[in-house]
Chains A and B, each alone.
Chain A
Amino acid sequence: MYGTDVSAPSVDQPAPTHQPDPANDGGRPDADRLAADFQAIIDGEGRIEPRDAMPDAYRRSLIRQIAQHAHSEIIGMQPEANWISRAPSLRRKAILMAKVQDEAGHGLYLYAAAETLGADRADLLDLLHTGRQKYSSIFNYPTLTWADMGAIGWLVDGAAIVNQVPLCRCSYGPYARAMVRVCKEESFHQRQGFEILNLLSHGSTAQHAMAQDAVDRWWWPSLMMFGPPDDKSPNSAQSMAWGIKRFSNDDLRQRFVDMTVPQSEALGLSLPDPDLRWNDARGHYDIGEIDFTELFDVIKGNGPCNAQRMDRRRKAHEDGAWVRDAATAYAAKQRGSGSSETAA
């Protein structure tokens, strides 16, 4: 049973055969056995399921990662939703709406996965709304022109796919299953973005310039989506040992660059990096130095749209309150549980 069973007897409670001792965890041999069971599943490339015993640190780390992933999907609706009313055709409006709906869906799959670990949905939303949990800093950049819808689909969703495909094999079952659904749906997102840019790039001079401008602005932030370089990513080793993370930040970034450069050539658009070139010896593209001070600055809240995204998110939540309240009241009335009015 998902979501509600983490308070079941196996978790966080001393085994009944041992005398509970408030000074320690009360069941050392049992804790050792559970830890060994957990490690055996991880080592055997098995999947940890919600009812399994797992180290607290594994649980906490996953809740944080899945929640921030969910927040990113929900906040990620905003930059594109801004363009639904201004999309250039009915076809593009329909596509963009479907994509934004998908992002909402991805957020919900992920919140549900976090709940299987004992997190509370309302708590997670509070953590987002009060700024105590982050979302991907990529969504703190503005979408200035229609070509940005293309660049987001092609580069941002492209980078997200490279990050997310290995998560389909993550050691935590519900997260892995959510990612399988997400990845299936992302591929249309990336293609529609590529198509937008391809049309613009091969259109008028002004359209080509608009496409190039969007790619110039989104390229470096997309590379930063893979996180800090490996030697500055303190949590990566533990995450890999737990089978949550499968490849290092730099490896995934390289994979993205290698697949994206030929696509940029097909688009007839350049990438804004004078040091970008094929390295025959390595069999990979070399890229210039990434300015990570910008990434950390945006994460700290100083990006162009941090405040706007958070305000919009909080307002959407507040504005939807009456709908949630009405649905709750209606459900209570249908149950016939007396008055539908409950004291606030």
Chain B
Amino acid sequence: MRSRLEWPLWEVFVRARRGLSHVHVGSLHAPDAEMAVRNARDLYTRRQEGVSIWVVPADHLTASSPDEKDAFFDPAADKIYRHPTFYSVPEGVEHL
């Protein structure tokens, strides 16, 4: 069996409609960026699920940390004063 598939992996992001962000929908293999966009259209938007596609080589993504369950996000945990519900408002005060 010649020609093993060794095309790079691309992550695919689709904007469902104007006004929304691109959202990650999955990944695929393609030899280059142009083919990745075409393959992404055929694979992820067969039913008009998008108006715009981004493809990014998977090995160009940098993630926050190898273990998604670590202390990286902990500093935000004890800062509840960043939320409006932290503050007490006297009865009857509106538009605040």
The answer, yes or no, to whether B61 is at the interface (CB within 8 Å) is yes
A2 lies within 8 A of B9 (CB)? yes
The answer, yes or no, to whether A334 is at the interface (CB within 8 Å) is yes
Which A residues are CB-close (under 8 A) to B69? Answer: 37, 52
The 8 A CB mask of A199-214 against B (1 = contact, 0 = none) is: 0000000000000000
The 8 A CB mask of A315-344 against B (1 = contact, 0 = none) is: 001100100110110110011000000001
| Interchain CB contact (< 8 A) of A53 among B5, B35, B67 | B67
The 8 A CB mask of B45-76 against A (1 = contact, 0 = none) is: 01100000000001101110011110000000
Cβ distance B67 to chain A, nearest Cβ, rounded Å: 4
Which A residues are CB-close (under 8 A) to B31? Answer: 324, 327-328, 330-331
How extensive is the interface on chain B, given as a class? Answer: 20 to 34
Of residues 91 through 131 on chain A, the ones whose CB sits less than 8 Å from some CB of chain B are: 98, 101-102, 105, 108-109, 112, 115-116, 121-122, 125-126, 129
A1-B61, A5-B63, A321-B2 known; A49+B27 contact, CB < 8 A: no
A49 lies within 8 A of B1 (CB)? no
A178 lies within 8 A of B66 (CB)? no
The answer, yes or no, to whether A9 is at the interface (CB within 8 Å) is yes
| Interchain CB contact (< 8 A) of B26 among A112, A125, A126, A185 | A112
| Interchain CB contact (< 8 A) of A122 among B6, B58, B62 | B6
* Minimum CB distance partner of A8 in chain B: B66
Which B residues are CB-close (under 8 A) to A318? Answer: 1-2
Of residues 213 through 238 on chain A, the ones whose CB sits less than 8 Å from some CB of chain B are: none
Size of interface on A: residues with Cβ below 8 Å to B: 44
| Interchain CB contact (< 8 A) of A52 among B4, B5, B28, B68 | B68
B32 lies within 8 A of A122 (CB)? no
The answer, yes or no, to whether A303 is at the interface (CB within 8 Å) is no
| Interchain CB contact (< 8 A) of A112 among B3, B27, B42 | B27
When chains A and B are docked, how far (Å) is the Cα of A98 from the Cα of B42?
11
Which B residues are CB-close (under 8 A) to A1? Answer: 11, 58, 61-63
Which B residues are CB-close (under 8 A) to A112? Answer: 26-28
* Minimum CB distance partner of A130 in chain B: B1
22 contacts between A and B (CB under 8 A): A1-B62, A3-B27, A4-B9, A11-B66, A51-B68, A52-B67, A52-B69, A98-B46, A101-B46, A108-B43, A109-B43, A112-B26, A115-B9, A121-B5, A122-B5, A129-B1, A185-B47, A314-B1, A324-B7, A330-B31, A331-B35, A344-B2
Binding site for A on B (CB under 8 A): 1-7, 9, 11, 26-29, 31-32, 35, 42-43, 46-47, 58-59, 61-63, 66-69
Binding site for B on A (CB under 8 A): 1-5, 8-11, 37, 49, 51-53, 98, 101-102, 105, 108-109, 112, 115-116, 121-122, 125-126, 129, 177-178, 185, 314, 317-318, 321, 324-325, 327-328, 330-331, 334-335, 344
Given contacts A37-B69, A325-B3, 7 further A-B contacts (CB under 8 A): A2-B11, A11-B66, A101-B42, A108-B28, A109-B43, A112-B28, A177-B26
